Structure 1
């Protein structure tokens, strides 16, 4: 299973004349962010809540007044700057430390400045030392050259395999760009056998056939629960050789809409879902599950301005309201937060992928998880329940 790259871009323009553990923070807004983002698309999406959260930490480090307060409420950030920085460092160190065999995960932060845009030395030092960002200066008056140089630098410094993270349009009117690029690749702990993949129908929420998919298949003892508070079935597919990273598939019960599942997340968290899976394992041990999941690839390129508006972040986008007094003496505001992401889900696990054939005799008697209608998915770091990638699969294609 491969999760490719995501780029998040924050563009700054010149104006024209709760008491929770820090590791809870990325998780708490992840589902809300996915929900509001899918409203701006066709509902078939992938985003990186952790990548977006990382970027917005960089934005918050320069924000003041109401601009910071709104970011603080939306992303559940502490008021104290030192607490923000220390909590950010602690969480990223945990999430981005994949000792798991079969998992690679990198996250890079970049700040690109126009050559005539002056930022305070204190802010530059802070984003370099505390936000671990690379700061580069380019001539934004030549946006094509600036984009080419920036993309070359991102590729050279290991910022993932995504090409053309930045475009000339990103530089054309901007003064500063803050970019996060995150890349994840994971091999299933229990891989699928390609010979078991077959073309099968895929349905909408009303169980009307809307297309076909390459449906991967296996029978294996994997974490599975019927989470009644969500009105959904939950399946966990671990990565690699330990219990640090996994992918959760959330399949609504028949005749239950994805929108209803989202509403149910108001009373049950992903941490609760994770605990339910663990409790069921302790109570009944792992049992063989008959699993059918589409092989799929999704790409998303979306402006997050409106989703962030829906989460209560307004002022940073308006010239007359934005406050970034820690960044520069100039009056600046955010023109756009652009998010680009890809996800690629395949049978890949190891070179030898014949593990499932041992269990074929149990097909009739085993519980079944068949993702042949719209479902949610989350790639998480389990010790903090941090959502690294998440989205919705709802538009079937043969992949």
Structure 2
């Protein structure tokens, strides 16, 4: 996780400061040794998918008819960090609701898997930050601080929230590139999430043909126009019977260590409702449906910039996490005085364009009628000229790093 340190922040709060408070450390320490031979990858993926679905169903009602985007992994890690220092009731509430294992060793392995999904490198541009910003004078619990920093869950910083809220808001707005129209500073802390992805391609769209094309709704009515990046190449496509969906997987990065997954619903009138029946098992079915075409097929994806800023506090309250924000007993093991986060700003940005790192090798063209080796429902192309869902995953675990819905075109009628 890349860490921002700004002038208005005092850095990590001094842990050597003596305070007249005794933390109850029971349940806040991951015991060693753990069973290093147990493979938890499958259960981790299933639990992350469950959380992604829960968050998706909470985000959708707040984004009617709009393009939206969020980061399940980033939000999950942040909530896990807060849960590590919560009182038993709040901790159980968070862990149960968001599929965070209660077993210490399993949870630590989940953390290792989740935090290693985003690697800073030249071939992929992803900036990810998870921050608990405490008011100056609020001191973290040393044991909790040790857990969240050693497991790379969260950065703990200090700022003049009460003393100079105006400056704090401006600095947060700058470092998060966020609008913060309704940030709440009633408490003594705020939770900040940021993840930005800039789509750098290695072999996908570096030399794509850019064509301005109509963009339709599910009924076939024109909504406006998009700039489609078109390539003809062998690609991994599939058909998911449970969703009546066509899917496309594009590899990106050195050694193809990330995957972009696109989902279209040609037989549906409303793509949002299609995911109401989604389960981790259906996601596994989706991933297992991919087959590489035996001949090149046409692939077209819009150039896009999607940015969403979500107040996760409101979503979490609706899901039943209520004591975290204003009950000192809930966070007494996080800090002294107890951290009372009045806002949880979750900001995600996705930029996809045709600027790549390496030019793709030339691909022969194909014509309709040539067998592709794919499910007949897939046909000979994947043209994203109507609403679709998108996810950025890593190639090892297929954790959902970013999830998005593209519903509105760039240029509206």
For the aligned pair, the TM-score class normalised by the smaller chain equals 0.7 to 0.9
Determine which structure has greater relative contact order: mean sequence separation of CA pairs < 8 Å that are 6+ residues apart, divided by chain length. 1
CA shift for structure 1 position 323: 1.5
TM-score (norm 1): 0.79
Task: Give yes or no for the alignment of 1:146 onto 2:154.
Answer: no
Task: Give yes or no for the alignment of 1:288 onto 2:296.
Answer: yes
> 1:57 matched to which residue of 2?
80
**Structure 1 CA distance for aligned equivalents of residues 118 and 352 of structure 2:** 21
> 1:5 matched to which residue of 2?
none
**Structure 1 CA distance for aligned equivalents of residues 60 and 140 of structure 2:** 35
Q: Equivalent of 2:347, from 340, 345, 348? A: 340
Q: Which has the higher helix share?
A: 1
- Could you tell me whether the CA contact under 8 Å between 1:147 and 1:168 is conserved in 2? no
Task: Give yes or no for the alignment of 1:307 onto 2:315.
Answer: yes
CA shift for structure 1 position 76: 0.4
**Structure 1 CA distance for aligned equivalents of residues 353 and 226 of structure 2:** 12
CA shift for structure 1 position 146: 3.0
- Could you tell me whether the CA contact under 8 Å between 1:379 and 1:388 is conserved in 2? yes
1:203-242 equivalences in 2 (<5 Å): 203-242=216-255
- Could you tell me whether the CA contact under 8 Å between 1:111 and 1:176 is conserved in 2? yes
Structure 2, gaps ≥5 residues long: 1-39, 373-379
CA shift for structure 1 position 388: 0.7
Structure 1, gaps ≥5 residues long: 1-18, 155-161
Q: CA RMSD in A?
A: 3.2
Task: Give yes or no for the alignment of 1:123 onto 2:144.
Answer: yes
**Structure 2 CA distance for aligned equivalents of residues 150 and 301 of structure 1:** 13
**Structure 2 CA distance for aligned equivalents of residues 322 and 216 of structure 1:** 53
Between the two proteins, the alignment pairs up a number of residues equal to: 363
Q: Equivalent of 1:323, from 316, 320, 330? A: 330
Indicate how the Cα distance of structure 1 residues 197 and 35 shifts in structure 2: closer, same or farther if over 3 A, else same. farther
CA shift for structure 1 position 129: 2.8
**Structure 1 CA distance for aligned equivalents of residues 354 and 369 of structure 2:** 23
Task: Give yes or no for the alignment of 1:269 onto 2:282.
Answer: yes
- Could you tell me whether the CA contact under 8 Å between 2:74 and 2:130 is conserved in 1? no
- Could you tell me whether the CA contact under 8 Å between 1:322 and 1:333 is conserved in 2? no
- Could you tell me whether the CA contact under 8 Å between 2:100 and 2:107 is conserved in 1? yes
**Structure 2 CA distance for aligned equivalents of residues 168 and 258 of structure 1:** 29
Indicate how the Cα distance of structure 1 residues 320 and 63 shifts in structure 2: closer, same or farther if over 3 A, else same. closer
- Could you tell me whether the CA contact under 8 Å between 2:204 and 2:252 is conserved in 1? no
Indicate how the Cα distance of structure 1 residues 60 and 286 shifts in structure 2: closer, same or farther if over 3 A, else same. farther
> 1:159 matched to which residue of 2?
none
**Structure 2 CA distance for aligned equivalents of residues 397 and 150 of structure 1:** 28
Q: Which moved more, 1:290-299 or 1:191-200?
A: 191-200
- Could you tell me whether the CA contact under 8 Å between 1:51 and 1:180 is conserved in 2? yes
CA shift for structure 1 position 169: 6.9
CA shift for structure 1 position 103: 2.0
**Structure 2 CA distance for aligned equivalents of residues 190 and 206 of structure 1:** 33
Indicate how the Cα distance of structure 1 residues 256 and 268 shifts in structure 2: closer, same or farther if over 3 A, else same. farther
**Structure 2 CA distance for aligned equivalents of residues 169 and 393 of structure 1:** 25
> 2:68 matched to which residue of 1?
45
Q: Equivalent of 1:88, from 111, 114, 121? A: 111
